[in-house]
Structure 1
Amino acid sequence: MTTNRYPSLMWEDVSEGDTLPPFDYELSLLRLVAFVRATGLYDYVHHDDRYAQAVGAKASFISTPHVGGLLTRLITDWSGPGSVLRRLTYRMTAQCLRDDVLTVSGKVGRKYRGDDGSYLVDLVDLNIATGSVATAVSATATLEMPFSTGQLPRIARERSADETVPPNEDMPEFARAMLGKVRVGNWEPREPLLQSDIHLWCEALEDWNPLYWDADYAAASPFGRIIAPPTGLFYGAGSSLNVGLGYRKPGAEVPAPIRQGLKGMELLSALRQEIIKGGVPFPPPDCPETVVTEATFKFYRPLGVGDTLRTEQRLLTCSPLRKTRLGEGYFLLGENLLFNQHDELVRSVALNLFCYRTQ
């Protein structure tokens, strides 16, 4: 689908080596807080300098979904709303800190036809730079594009049987005991997604893909309704209860650290463990802190207004004990499978994590 108002690139108009128009994004405190508001991800390291410094960072820093949002904005700003993102992998090698000015860029790699006849483009050298770091984030992506004959990208696809990762042979015993176990993770969201939820994401990222906010355009598209950005995270207002916001609501469960009367940094540290539990399905013993080093998203069908998402979590691999500048801990690979209310797979997210204790 293409219009003069919201044009889309066609596959045949793309050449290998084309540059995606870069953009700058100031990672201000306002934008960090706006992203927390949009997602319900209340992790203090992403907006509280004091807490971030207490766990080994220089200042508050960008979150994993925030990075994904900037990369998907880069892609769809270039391609237009007619393409569908199939895969996105990014590695975070340096922290993007509060007040950094980020430059987001990339180019076209391979252009080819899929086995099913789809028109595909691999995007390479996707990069987020700061004023002091040339590559804070590196990424690759696969995009399915429309063709001028009228062939459009598939709205949905199924997961293939070979999309699995074997466990590593040197896995510690505590991790080996977790293999094969499935844990119910967060709802993203628990309540039906609202158009206003998606609009908050658009504001924080300055991502104005019309499929996310223009109801008339989205209704006339193959999707038939407003959809969420592919990496969109929407925990909703109820997620604030994990960190003690709104615990006085009648019927709400008061977090244990608040019942215990903890204050200040001690309270924040105890409450943050509830956040970590949501993203780290099988945390190693005595490793209360966690950072994400790499994320791989695979997309199967869109999340739209009115949908809910439930998560199934699995541990895939775990390294032996390692020492880094942050502390001593384990590198884990965990997988989240997110299903909508019809039990259809929306996306998979494989997260490489470093779970550690500070020295």
Structure 2
Amino acid sequence: MNATPYRSVLWDAVAEGERLPGFGYELSMLRLVAFVRATGLYDYVHHDPEYARAVGIKDAFAATPHIGGLFCRAVTDWTGPSGMIRRIEFRMTGQCLRNDMLAVSGQVARKYRADDGTGLIDVELNIATQDAPSVAAAKVTVALPSADGHYPATVRERDPADVILPNDDMPDFARARLDEIRQGNWEPRDPLLASDIHLWCEALEDWNPLYWDAEFAAASPVGGIVSPPIGLFFGAGSGLVVGLGHLKPGAIVPEPIVRDLHGIELMSALRQELIRGGVPFPRPTAPKPW
């Protein structure tokens, strides 16, 4: 992969304390809408300022996977396509609002080798805005090729010992539902396409060639175009739950549309179903999120 037009970083050349180049990202309405288009994540608070203000939020704000995608971009922009993200943990302490100027930065916190000899680094990242020094932070573990020819495995067998079993402190209401199967929405049901992933690249300006350059990706160890590690794609048909395309033959018409609601009242009612569909099982004593 090194004999390509895309730069890649070797593990040997990385130093602890090294700072990533980082980048600026204007969270414009265009980018918010582009992310909705790319993912099918139609929650109104992420693209409709009027609705966001109606429910007590200052403005439309970036969705969780949008933020995670920016962290992943910061890492692979620096490592090049040979950097394989193994793990990401991040937290958000503030909202990234429409028209915020986001500053994404990072630093190498640790450099080490895994038991199998793979060169690993831990990178700590931060997103700041013009109003706050930190609205989100992350720790990403990434595997890099070494000068000795050791290349990160693109597919790893999972050790049964790594499977996370229920913790002793798991609440009874959750433990009782461990074997429960929940039926998902009947749409969307189409395969993920390279063109879908390309929309993600446009929204986040993440041009990792493994996501879009078919020729390069086919010749790489991954063998073809892959989706971003934190990519979230609901695909065509995901808008049905919020009433888009409800006239499609055979589609289930959302109940609020049957009731002939309009405006914010309609959106609020539809969003209840949208959120309900994304909550596996709420704590019985918790207030409803809708």
| TM-score (ref. length: structure 2) | 0.92
* CA distance, structure 1, for counterparts of residue 5 and residue 179 of structure 2: 49
- Distance 1:185-1:135 versus aligned 2 partners, 3 A rule: farther
Question: SS of the residue aligned with 1:236?
Answer: coil
* CA distance, structure 2, for counterparts of residue 141 and residue 279 of structure 1: 25
* CA distance, structure 2, for counterparts of residue 184 and residue 116 of structure 1: 40
Aligned to 2:24: 24
Aligned to 2:279: 280
Please tell me whether the aligned partners of residues 188 and 233 of structure 1 are also in contact (alpha carbons under 8 angstroms). no
Aligned to 2:65: 65
- Distance 1:159-1:270 versus aligned 2 partners, 3 A rule: farther
Q: How many residues align?
A: 289
- Distance 1:132-1:264 versus aligned 2 partners, 3 A rule: same
1:1-359 superposed matches below 5 A: 1-124=1-124, 126-160=125-159, 161-164=161-164, 166-167=166-167, 169=169, 171=171, 174-175=173-174, 177-185=176-184, 190-284=189-283, 329=287, 356=289
Equivalent residue letter for 1:77: D
Please tell me whether the aligned partners of residues 121 and 142 of structure 1 are also in contact (alpha carbons under 8 angstroms). yes
Aligned-residue offset at 1:178 = 3.5
Question: SS of the residue aligned with 2:21?
Answer: strand
| Structure 2 unmatched runs, 5+ | none
* CA distance, structure 2, for counterparts of residue 277 and residue 254 of structure 1: 16
* CA distance, structure 2, for counterparts of residue 121 and residue 252 of structure 1: 48
Q: Which moved more, 1:136-145 or 1:228-237?
A: 228-237
Please tell me whether the aligned partners of residues 95 and 135 of structure 2 are also in contact (alpha carbons under 8 angstroms). yes
* CA distance, structure 1, for counterparts of residue 67 and residue 169 of structure 2: 32
Aligned to 1:349: none
Aligned-residue offset at 1:48 = 0.9
Per-residue CA deviations over 1:15-60 (Å, capped at 9, x if unaligned) read 1111011100000101000000000110001011122223332111
* CA distance, structure 2, for counterparts of residue 8 and residue 147 of structure 1: 11
* CA distance, structure 2, for counterparts of residue 187 and residue 11 of structure 1: 45
Please tell me whether the aligned partners of residues 244 and 271 of structure 1 are also in contact (alpha carbons under 8 angstroms). yes
* CA distance, structure 1, for counterparts of residue 273 and residue 221 of structure 2: 39
- Percent identity between matched residues is 60
Structure number with higher helix proportion:
2
Aligned-residue offset at 1:109 = 1.0
Question: SS of the residue aligned with 1:33?
Answer: helix
Aligned to 1:313: none
Structure number with higher strand proportion:
1
- Distance 1:209-1:242 versus aligned 2 partners, 3 A rule: same
Aligned-residue offset at 1:273 = 2.2
Please tell me whether the aligned partners of residues 188 and 238 of structure 2 are also in contact (alpha carbons under 8 angstroms). no
Please tell me whether the aligned partners of residues 188 and 234 of structure 1 are also in contact (alpha carbons under 8 angstroms). no
Aligned-residue offset at 1:249 = 1.3
Q: Which moved more, 1:85-94 or 1:183-192?
A: 183-192
* CA distance, structure 2, for counterparts of residue 218 and residue 259 of structure 1: 47
* CA distance, structure 2, for counterparts of residue 247 and residue 187 of structure 1: 13
Please tell me whether the aligned partners of residues 187 and 237 of structure 2 are also in contact (alpha carbons under 8 angstroms). no
* CA distance, structure 2, for counterparts of residue 226 and residue 186 of structure 1: 27
Please tell me whether the aligned partners of residues 189 and 234 of structure 1 are also in contact (alpha carbons under 8 angstroms). no
- Distance 1:157-1:183 versus aligned 2 partners, 3 A rule: farther
| Structure 1 unmatched runs, 5+ | 286-319, 322-328, 330-354
Aligned-residue offset at 1:157 = 1.7
* CA distance, structure 2, for counterparts of residue 115 and residue 50 of structure 1: 52
Please tell me whether the aligned partners of residues 188 and 236 of structure 2 are also in contact (alpha carbons under 8 angstroms). no
- Distance 1:190-1:204 versus aligned 2 partners, 3 A rule: same
Aligned-residue offset at 1:180 = 4.8
